[in-house]
Amino acid sequence: MPQRIVGQVKRVNGPVITIQGITDAMMMELVHVGEQLLVGELVKLDGMEAVVQVYEDATGIAPGDNVYGTGLPLSVELGPGLIGTIYDGIQRPLERLRELGGDFMRRGIGSPSLDRSKHWDFSPSVGIGDTVVPGQPLGMVQENERIVHKILVPPVLAGSGPYTVIEIASEGSFPIEQTICTVENSEKERLPFSMMQHWPIRVPRPVADRRPLSIPLITGQRVIDMLFPLAKGGTVAIPGGFGTGKTMTQHAIAQWCDADIIVYIGCGERGNEMTDVLREFPHLIDPRTGRSLMERTILIANTSNMPVSAREASIYTGITLAEYYRDQGYHVAVMADSTSRWAEALRELSGRMEEMPAEEGFPAYLPTRIAEFYERAGYMTTLGHQEGSVSIIGAVSPPGGDFSEPVTQHTKRFVRCFWGLDRALASARHYPAISWLDSYSEYVSEVAPWWETQGESSWVESRAEIMELLQREVRLQQIVKLVGPDALPDSQNFILEVCSLFKTAFLQQNAFDDIDRYSTVGKQIRMLQLILSYWHLGSEAISKGVTMVKLRRMKVVQEIARMRFSVSNENLEELDRIALRLERSMSQLGGIYDER
């Protein structure tokens, strides 16, 4: 039990507790309230009084209860054993808590975030007499078959350098709290390091440099990779009303994207949705390794019926874990589902603290908090001179699907990619229901050189051409609603035909089909070029007198419509054969020219 009493409870207002008689406390200090030691954080100091937000149910807390200080900020434990673990919003391991207290979590129950009894096989990478710098790897631990965990020098060290290794453990098996290395600073102070370190969740971990974003995060979802790409280290918002597929889209990206580590934050989601995640993820297979997806995933479960304060802390917990693996040189994708529930937690806490509300009751500092979260993304050069990235994919749940509400609008200010979900598409069972009219990506020009290095220099032009066709289709659809399709010439009707084919044969993707659920970059660009080839050849044929009826009757058009199901990622030659059949079919239509 903490020994230092910092004050006594004066007033209880849900998760917000006012304490009095402050003797020795600091802002953002981790405290324990009452004899049950409920976890809380000191968020406001005013003379001899302070305000604490409690991360558990405050029922039973009464005036006069002692509040104990720890002298530390709210922090997470970092070290081997994070991958594959399910935590709550303040990094308590839920499976371990269930073993201790049963299916229903008791108030005040706690357990170390990392298993203290487990031994890890450590292999040193430095020797006695070597000089080390903050963030440099001291050795390696094989966390699982996929992830090599690098034991880093803490990013902040006491004293000044140079830091010289005076003791280092030889290769062997050790618990995470055992000292494995001791260094000496210029003041001759000895600094012992174990395989575990702590870091405050609200403080970004330092880096050496922020690098340009030039490599796309390949998701296997065609509408994203081809039309609205996300760069590694980038930020994207996925807004959409209830039932439009935000969680489904994030699940698909988590399973198929080429990030090394996935941190999935269920922030205020419904319990049944989080249950689906917890049940499905262990059974999903990573296509690159053939092993369980949980071997590269950390889950943070903070459902809507959990304490609201822990919801507010959960996204900081998740992003700090992501930064830790980024510092090891990994590319990490953070799924925050959803930031709207996090903003609602801010609003509730702000109201209980009687702060002045801004638009729709949200606190005036909402834009600042959103910016602080998304700014922690990036493609970085770490302190240990490695390269790693954190990409943030944040779902937004605007009430009624209204994109003009504050959370969506402020989020758009701080992200550079926007995948707007359309209810009409979702109702038509078109998934992913990402609107090609409302969505955008500012990473197109930045990732274009990467496509050239892959031998696909035509990507930028092909993308621009199909986007222009989609825009033309919108204008033509407005005319069709007024006068009907028969009033349009075949040249304009063909635009509607090509766009309809593009939507069904390319943009729509079936997550339950073994072939269609994931498309490699090579398959995606060839599918797009095949549809554009149909557009070019068909337009030329129409200009020479071929009718729309003739074009529609070609068997190869049906092959193009079915190619997402019939052509696997390993059989791209079949797309080339379809392209040849398309050219032959178009040339055979030339016989009707003589009949005219």
Q: pTM for this one? A: 0.93
pLDDT score of 590: 61
Q: What is the pLDDT of residue 594?
A: 41
Question: Tell me, what's the pLDDT at 523?
Answer: 95
SS3 per-residue string spanning 178-242: CCCEEEECCCCCEEEECCCEEEECCCCCCCCEEECCCCECCCCCHHHHHHCCCECCCEEEEECCC
Return the CATH class of domain 209-446: alpha beta
Q: What does the block give as tokens for 278? A: 């917890």
Residue ranges of the chain that CATH labels 2.40.30.20:
4-73
| Partners of residue 137 on adjacent β-strands | 152
pLDDT in tens, 234-254: 999 999 988 898 888 988 898
Q: Where in the chain is the domain with CATH 2.40.50.100?
A: 118-198
CATH 1.10.1140.10 residue ranges for the chain: 459-595
Q: What residue type is assigned to position 399 of the chain?
A: P
Cα–Cα dist 506/511, whole Å: 13
Q: Which residues of the chain have pLDDT under 70?
A: 1-3, 287-288, 590-596
The answer to whether 119 and 169 are in contact (CB under 8 A) is no
Residues of the chain with CATH 3.40.50.300: 209-446
Q: Does domain 459-595 have CATH number 1.10.10.10?
A: no
Residue 494 C-alpha from the chain's centroid: 39
What's the pLDDT at 3? 66
Cβ neighbours of residue 102 closer than 8 Å, sequence gap 6 or more: none
- Contact in structure between 427 and 212 (CB atoms under 8 Å): no
Spatial contact of 20 and 7, defined as CB atoms under 8 Å apart? yes
Q: Residue 341 burial by CB count (10 A; 0-12/13-18/19+): exposed, middle or buried?
A: buried
Instruction: Name the CATH architecture for the domain at 118-198.
Output: Beta Barrel (2.40)
What pLDDT, on the 0 to 100 scale, is given for residue 168? 95
pLDDT at 129: 94
How many whole angstroms separate alpha carbon 523 and alpha carbon 527? 6
Architecture (CATH level 2) of domain 4-73: Beta Barrel (2.40)
Cα distance between residue 19 and residue 63, in whole Å:
9
In angstroms, the CA 366 to CA 368 distance is 5
